[in-house]
Amino acid sequence: MDFIVFLNKNLKQPLYFQLYSYIKKEIEAGSLVAGVKMPPIRQLAIHLRVSKTTIETAYQQLVAEGYLESRAKSGIWVSPQEEIGLATQSIKHEDDFSVVNEATVRYNFEYGDIAVESFPIKKWKRSINEALSTGRADLLLYGERQGSLALREELAKYLNQSRGISCSPGQIVITAGTQPAISTLCQLLSLSGQRVAFENPGYDGVRTVFANLGCSLSPVTLEEDGINIGELENTGANLVYVTPAHQFPLGMVLSIQKRKKLLQWAESGERFIIEDDYDSEFRYSSQPIPPLKAMDYDDKVIYLGTFSKAFMPGARLSYIILPQQLSSLFKTKLANYNQSSPPLIQNGLELFMKQGDFERHIRKMRKVYQQKHRMLTASINLYMGNRIEMIGQKAGLHLLINVDNRDFMDLKERGLQQEVLIHSPEKFWINRGDCPKSLVMLGFGGLTEMEIREGIERLGKAWF
């Protein structure tokens, strides 16, 4: 095939990125269709008068993103593409309400974005269409109060296989996100006016729900191996919210010693632990960490899970696993509450899971995010070196960096001059002033590997 592409060596963009962008655009436009063989690396390098490394780097990125595929002893070919009708740009939202001209931002290290370019839209559309084709009238109504029984059955099987959690479908409650799950628990446990212990720093979205519903928050500091158990015992709280597998936002894992002590704390009275296992699927340096719920022989752990990171936040699907005693209480105390998540989406997900598409998607996304994570850490090491400290880099879709003796607002302004938007983690501290001013939070889920490398390179130049 002939390549009519002009690589401009005078542009700031590297040549490999120009080539990568050109091929990607041609595939998305339908000019390069599935089954077309790409020119050999050596041949294309000679044709474009660039190094083989330039071609290899562009091809490797396109293979990683699924635009091309490498076949043994056959070469590089254009892959079949999903019919993606989604905008691949992230939706920007500033936490501190500061004004940012989005037109000047090319690289947004926003936490919470996902790799929409890798979403299996065709398979998801098939599941939704299959759900609609049944003609079931209940899909157009309010749905079962605890959520679709068929979905809860699939979830119980999945959690047993993937997380080692043994539970019945009757213990699972489907919700429209983690915050509605917390709201449900506040009402179920009559928490208004009660003391709730909370990791500090911790997820502000959950903390806000507790506060708005009248709970008295008791912040508990973190140590290198997780929440300070001694402090927790002194709070007088009978409920604690924790993220033990990957503490949010600092990233440490709750040690096995502290897991046992935390369970002992709950067992010593009428106490419960809320375990938010928000991104357990994505761990890069070891196997996934077993949840507290898998060690919960006295049934004291309320387990929260979500499809926002592993699947898509737009589905608005999360779930609670209730201890048996609270499951019975739910059926009486909240019996008149309607289900908050649409039955059609629930049924579509149940079919998606039953057909094996969800587990295949998880396996694919582990590879996608691991490659992005490697690119991020490698780029930080290359362009920033020992001038920063990485924090919480072993799992999840974000990490923190400590740019010693620097102020976040200065770092942010310098980044914006290079078209890069960074974010502060200060909102996760109960007292924002307690957050070190030199901390930067880098989310990478919604960026391509090339964008990650380019963005970090620009930050390195702007900061040092």
- Classified by CATH at the fold level, domain 1-81 comes out as Arc Repressor Mutant, subunit A (1.10.10)
Q: Which stretches in the chain have pLDDT values below 50?
A: 83-97
- What is the pTM for the complete model shown? 0.79
| pLDDT on residue 46 | 87
Residues of the chain with CATH 1.10.10.10: 1-81
Q: Residue 286 in contact with residue 394, Cβ under 8 Å? A: yes
Exposure string over 334-357, b if 16+ CB within 10 A, otherwise e: eeeeebbbbbbbbbbbbbbbeeeb
CATH superfamily of 83-121+359-464: Aspartate Aminotransferase, domain 1 (3.90.1150.10)
CATH 1.10.15.40 assigned to 142-355: no
Residues of the chain with CATH 3.90.1150.10: 83-121+359-464
| pLDDT on residue 286 | 64
| pLDDT on residue 101 | 57
| Residues written for the chain | 464
Identify the H or E element spanning 78. strand 75-78
| pLDDT on residue 141 | 85
| pLDDT on residue 335 | 87
Residues of the chain with CATH 3.40.640.10: 142-355
| pLDDT on residue 88 | 43
Provide the pairing of β-strand 272-276 with 239-242: parallel
